[in-house]
Structure 1
Amino acid sequence: MEERNHSSVTSFILLGLTTDTRLQLLLFMVFTFAYITTLLCNITLIAVICHSSRLHTPMDFFTGNLSFLDLWYSCVYTPKILLNCISEDKSTSFAGCAAQFFVSGGLACTESYLLAAMAYDRYVAISNPLLHAAAMTKKLCIGLVATSYLSGFANSTLIASYTFTPSFCDSNVIDDFFCDLLPLVKLSCDVTDSYQSLLYFILTFNTILPSALILRSYVSISVVILRMCSTEGQCKAFSTSATHFTTITLCYGSILCTRPSSSYVLERDKVVSVLYMVVTPMLNPFIYSLRSQEVKEALKTLLKRQTAS
């Protein structure tokens, strides 16, 4: 039997979102606007949280880390998407593809666990508002964020190693705009059922576990809100968790639409991937800042200081 290993594949061809030249130009302008907006908004939100003493609460700490993830996540994908839109060379190196796959997987996994930590923080804030600061100490918040990163990149290491270890066939064409798991698995020559089962187990576990933690927190939040006597208290408690719930809906709605299945539709998956990789990192700063009066006031104060100096 002829032996083939992944060293025979030195690069991959990313076909991108479309082959239409005019549409590629339009997408380039749209993605450029989204990328610049994402960078400016997330950097601004991080700066506001760091410089304002009023925004040193546990939720603001988690929000700053979420903005950092969105900033990093956008930088992993968008520059390559922009390059593919205007360049005839659609190739990416084997190492570049593996690096993008590893980093993006680690960031996505980290964000899932970070959202679970934020859900727990919302539960503590609503169930015990007077003891919130005492319960969510700085040490605990740092520990939750560090655990999210360690869990995310540990799982990404496993997935990346299992994905790039098998032999790749002669074809190196990926009908997508980034190095995703399903197209890469399809290019592998020696993918076994046990190998696929292991990959899907890792992916499913890292979706179900944070989802279960988030669901438990929100079930507890709902019980606390329903037990409140005043309507005003219920509305205030709901408003406290509404921002985070919106982010969860955007994140997990995209994940559910792109889950591995027998009904996998490539074109639909491309659109949903754009939503998750480009649109969501751009919208998150608006979701958190527009609903927070403290963030608005802190931003005004920061702008006044910059103008005065």
Structure 2
Amino acid sequence: MDNMCQVYEDEIQSLEEEIKLLTEQCEDIQQESTSYSEEEILMAIKSFQSEFQGESEGCESPSDLKAQLESLEADLSFLMKFTGIQFTSHSKKTVERTRNRTVQKHRVSGTCYSLSFQLEFQLLEMQDEEKVSSVITDLSIVMESGEDLNVSKFVSRTEEHGDLLTFFRSLSLHAEWYEHRRRTFLHFKEKYPAVVTLPEGLQGDYIVLRNPKLSEFELMVVWKIHLDEEGRTTPVLDLLTKVPEQVLEQNKGSIEDAPRRFRSLLGLFGIETAIESLIKVVGSQD
């Protein structure tokens, strides 16, 4: 019932804002033109209030509303688990309202797996005799991405086109890869603590493999998550080596060929198996 009360309170607050806006618009009209009398303006406001009250009285019973609310909450919970997207706050403000045009300003923040985001945009709704159309304008996105130039380009393109559907679809997949990488790094760190180190923590994009007995020899597995301007996410992995000169001279061919072999392992067995194969090789060196 608390949720239902909150819904009604939000509607009342929204109505109050709309009445205030309508009153201001009427005052402006009155100052600029003598076409509308004060009595006509007050009648228009009362008509608007009566219309809203009539809609409220025609609502379904509290039990039906509660059942619908529970169903919506269940659907929302499923979508959050499926996409990883969870909204933490949302506010809206009506900045313009006419008979066939409404402009609302929205602010939204949330998380997608371990990545956070903030959105601000205006929603323009226009109604004619046949349909209602909506257009997003003035879209601004703040997305946790560090200094990732690819993410910045994607965000800029999304802001330019006002395409929120593509943004959330791409964000879900992109953040899912981040989460997959984080869990993979954590798994290998816990399973092979003597060999695996994470210089930048779980949010970093590489791990270092080092045998404690051969500290000068190490392999670095770099795991980038590329996001292009169209919103497509691609994992990009590579292998870097750090080998003492004496060892390099003796095994130059095999060491220089290690990155190519690692990429072959990725294609044949997948990311986890390829990385674990390297860990076992490094850990077995004497």
Please tell me the TM-score bracket, short chain as reference.
under 0.3
Higher helix share: 1
Normalised TM-score (structure 1): 0.23
Normalised TM-score (structure 2): 0.25
Larger Rg: 2
Higher strand share: 2
Q: Which has the higher contact order (CA 8 A, sep 6+)?
A: 1
